[in-house]
């Protein structure tokens, strides 16, 4: 249990933040630690879901760029204005695309630059996702450890334990 933060294997180790020393906390402090870490885990899960959504959207955009690059010039097609609204259009120039760089700003790029942009953003999001998963698992183990110690202390305090 004490190895959740890494280190010498004891929670009473030297260093300010290395060992948690959860066993030394009062019941109220343990409850607060558990609630706080549970809240942080939930926030991290929300962030992970947002990253998954953004990655999916970029994957779809990358697939759309690949599809667009193989269509002949002058090809009639449906152009999405929103997720559910399409208008008829004609492909004028598949070599240049507008890339949404956020907050309503678009940048004109070549098809290759647009694909590269999508791939770089996808790789960045996947890297961030992996880092958040690591942090979330550490926070979850701290919450689990605090919960286990809290249960043990409450069991010791209850008069019917004997």
pLDDT digits (tens, 9 = 90+) for 56-98: 999 998 998 888 888 888 889 888 888 899 999 998 888 888 8
The pLDDT value given to residue 154 = 87
Q: Among 14-23, 27-36, 116-125, name the one with the lowest average pLDDT.
A: 14-23
119 closest CA partner among 40, 36, 41, 58 = 58
Q: The CATH number of 28-154 is which of 1.10.287.370, 1.10.3720.10, 1.10.3470.10, 3.40.50.1220? A: 1.10.287.370
% the chain with pLDDT above 90: 49
Instruction: Count Cβ neighbours within 10 Å for each residue of 62-88 and write b for 16 or more, e otherwise.
Output: beebeeeeeeeeeeeeeeeeeeeeeee
143 closest CA partner among 35, 65, 2 = 35
* Whole-number Å distance between alpha carbons of 99 and 79: 15
Q: Name the average pLDDT for the chain.
A: 84
Whole-prediction pTM:
0.71
pLDDT digits (tens, 9 = 90+) for 15-32: 333 456 888 888 898 899
> What average pLDDT does this structure show over 144-162?
82
């Amino acid at each position: 249990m004490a190895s959740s933060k890494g280190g010498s294997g004891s929670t009473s180790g030297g260093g300010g933040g290395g060992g948690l020393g959860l066993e030394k906390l009062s019941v109220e402090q343990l409850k607060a630690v558990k609630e706080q870490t549970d809240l942080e885990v939930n926030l991290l899960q929300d962030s992970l879901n947002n990253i998954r959504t953004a990655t999916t959207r970029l994957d779809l955009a990358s697939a759309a760029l690949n599809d667009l690059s193989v269509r002949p010039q002058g090809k009639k097609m449906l152009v999405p204005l929103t997720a559910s609204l399409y208008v008829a259009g004609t492909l004028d120039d598949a070599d240049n695309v507008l890339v949404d760089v956020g907050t309503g700003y678009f940048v004109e790029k070549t098809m290759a630059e647009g694909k590269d942009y999508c791939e770089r953003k996808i790789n960045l999001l996947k890297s961030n996702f992996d880092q958040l998963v690591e942090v979330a698992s550490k926070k979850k183990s701290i919450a689990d450890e605090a919960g286990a110690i809290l249960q043990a202390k409450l069991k010791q305090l209850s008069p019917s334990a004997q």
